[in-house]
Amino acid sequence: MTKTIPIYQVDAFTDKAFSGNPAAVCILDVAQTDLWMQNVAAEMNLSETAFLVPEADGYRLRWFTPLAEVALCGHATLASSHILWETGRLAQNVSAKFFTLSGVLTARLDAQKWIELNFPVKPVEQAPVPPELAQILNVTPVFTGKNQFDFVVEVENEEIVRQVAPDFQALKKLPVRGVVVTAKSSLPEFDFVSRFFAPAVGVNEDPVTGSAHCCLAHYWSHKLGKHHFNAFQASRRGGRLKLTLEGDRVLIGGQAVTVLSGELYS
């Protein structure tokens, strides 16, 4: 008998369908093999597919791009939380708890129906980057650094961020998950803007990257002397994030919209 597995597609870090960052959320009764999950992620062909398996008082959560498993993903965690509450698998007054490659992560739904993720800070340190990076991005950096996952490049203004057009084949060869490009926002409603490029894991440009803001919140806190931020990821789809830095944790707030539900045949 063919078994069916529920799967959903959610636009994260937005309150409107067809914007923000789409993620697939696959809810399993029992764990599947890495190869099976990677094949499903490749089939979905989104920047991330999340796989949830009930475990203890929460869920085991893993994230796959079309090419690889990743150690931390914000938008697919936000999408997963949204689905758990929307489908009634979790009461809305109960926090979601996830066991992941980056430790225990939690999410809660606030009074305004924003989802708040509790993630680890991933600080950036000023560091030399490959000399060809500026040429690959075609920018003049104000700052270059590196954190656990990515290179981070600050540029002079928001317009430069919006106009970045990398050489993706060259970017793919760099020894990092991806590259974050950021600048102070020119708009009063936002503190800073960013874009994120990760062709090495099969995502040329990620529309809205929660995990990058684990770095950016820390970075801009030192630059701006504050701990609360409104951020905008200036991809074509675009996405809004509310950030609060609390010691070695960052609270990442966003909204989500379900755009598709279905079943996988296994």
Q: What is the pLDDT of residue 127?
A: 86
The token pair at 208 is: 């809205």
Return all residues near 66 (Cβ < 8 A) that are at least 6 apart.
41, 42, 44, 45, 46, 202, 203
Catalytic member of 48, 116, 154, 205: 48
Domains of the chain in start order, with CATH, are: 4-119+252-265 (3.10.310.10), 125-247 (3.10.310.10)
Nearest to 80 by CA among 6, 189, 180, 186: 6
Mean pLDDT estimate for the chain: 97
Q: What is the pLDDT of residue 204?
A: 97
Read off the pLDDT of each residue in 74-88 and give the average, rounded to a whole number.
98
Plot region of 173 (φ>0 → left; ψ -120 to 50 → alpha; else → beta): alpha
DSSP 105-158: EEEEE-TTS-EEEEEE----EE----TTHHHHHT---SEEEE-SSEEEEE-S-H
pLDDT per residue as tens digits for the range 194-233: 999 999 999 999 999 999 999 999 999 999 999 999 999 9
Q: How confident is the model at residue 20 (pLDDT cuts 50, 70, 90)?
A: very high
pTM of the complete model beyond 0.85: yes
**Are the C-beta atoms of 37 and 63 separated by less than 8 Å?**
no
Read off the pLDDT of each residue in 156-174 and give the average, rounded to a whole number.
97
Q: Is 48 a catalytic residue?
A: yes
Q: How confident is the model at residue 1 (pLDDT cuts 50, 70, 90)?
A: low
pLDDT per residue as tens digits for the range 36-60: 999 999 999 999 999 999 999 999 9
Read off the pLDDT of each residue in 75-100 and give the average, rounded to a whole number.
98
